[in-house]
Amino acid sequence: MRRFCFIGLALVSGLAGFVILLSLLPWPGEMLAPFRPQMLVVTLGFAATSLLLWSWKLTLPILAVVALNGVPMAVRWFDRPVLPATGTANLTVLALNVLYHNTDYDRAEALIRRENTDVVIASETDPQWILHLQGLKDIYPYSQTIPGRGAFGLSVHAKAPMTVEIFELGSERLPLIRAEFDAYVVYAVHPMPPGSAAMAVENAVYLHQLAEIARSETKPVVLAGDFNTTLWSANIKPLLKDRWQWSSGAGAAYTWPVGNPVLGIQIDHILTHHMKAGRFKVLEPIGSDHRPVRADLQF
């Protein structure tokens, strides 16, 4: 029995190491890298099991697999700029991917009204969603929508006047909305999900171009939306290189997929520059496969 357990553990650990190596590649790495925290938990479990077998010949290689995954994660986690939590905010932002075929409009509207943030960023806003979001004009009289894009519809809703500029990024010409207010700038973000090698490239190009566009901002600036990438992914490196700030509580939250916390990852982000403090919060589901996120910021 001990020999059988040894062989079985060696095989699954080898498989885990192979998957971790794949996660370092451009493809399928962009699909695997978001789940590196789950891989870390699993491989630590393998290491603990190997200790029960009293086999250093097995434990040491498994610990090498753990280190291959865990050390780069730790470096990235501690290297990112993190804002201290704030009790007093002068800018609040809500970002929600509504899922274009979700029809629970009232649930989303109720959450938006309850949160009552200064700015709302909504993605996957098809024409029906845009129509229902216009019902928020009483509290958000200023808006910019990009209709007719289905899963890549995008909209910004605000309490204050804004000057809007629309960019189309990558070969798929996916929208990016820049909304400038008196004291700050907000970007509405939604790149391609990395569902294939070509889609992963589109995701990378979008985030690279986003970093280039936003790099010249001098006002406090916010990037908000469904980034379709995580802190652990390669495609987010341009934003990490430019030292975009993470609010307290962000980085390893659970925003997708709703209903499956075991595979839960954070692909919905609110990143900032020129902020003094910030608190990040994940809100309850609204019928979408994403959970909405909110940031309370101080600049």
pLDDT at 11: 72
Residue 224's beta-bridge partner residues? 188, 270
pLDDT at 220: 98
pLDDT at 3: 64
pLDDT at 4: 58
pLDDT at 184: 98
Mean pLDDT of the chain: 93
Establish if 85 belongs to a structural domain: no
Same domain, 247 and 152: yes
**What pLDDT, in 10s, does the model give residues 259-286?**
999 999 999 999 999 999 999 999 999 9
Q: Which DSSP string corresponds to 194-209?
A: -SSHHHHHHHHHHHHH
Establish if 260 belongs to a structural domain: yes
Query: Total domain count for the chain?
Result: 2
Q: Of 58, 79, 100, at which residue does a domain stop?
A: 79
Look up the domain containing 42 and give its range: 2-79
Same domain, 59 and 205: no
Same domain, 180 and 211: yes
Query: Residue 123: CB partners within 8 Å, gap ≥ 6?
Result: 95, 96, 97, 98, 152, 153, 154, 188, 190, 225, 226
pLDDT at 124: 96
Distances (CA, A) of 124 to 30, 89, 100, 200: 21, 28, 5, 19
CB atoms under 10 Å from CB of 220, counted, come to 20
CA 14 to mean position of chain CA atoms: 29
Establish if 71 belongs to a structural domain: yes
237 SS3 class: helix
Residue ranges in the chain whose pLDDT is less than 70: 1-10, 53-54
Establish if 158 belongs to a structural domain: yes
pLDDT at 228: 98
**What pLDDT, in 10s, does the model give residues 172-220?**
999 999 999 999 999 999 999 999 999 999 999 999 999 999 999 999 9
Establish if 255 belongs to a structural domain: yes
Same domain, 101 and 50: no
Terminal alpha carbon distance of the chain: 62
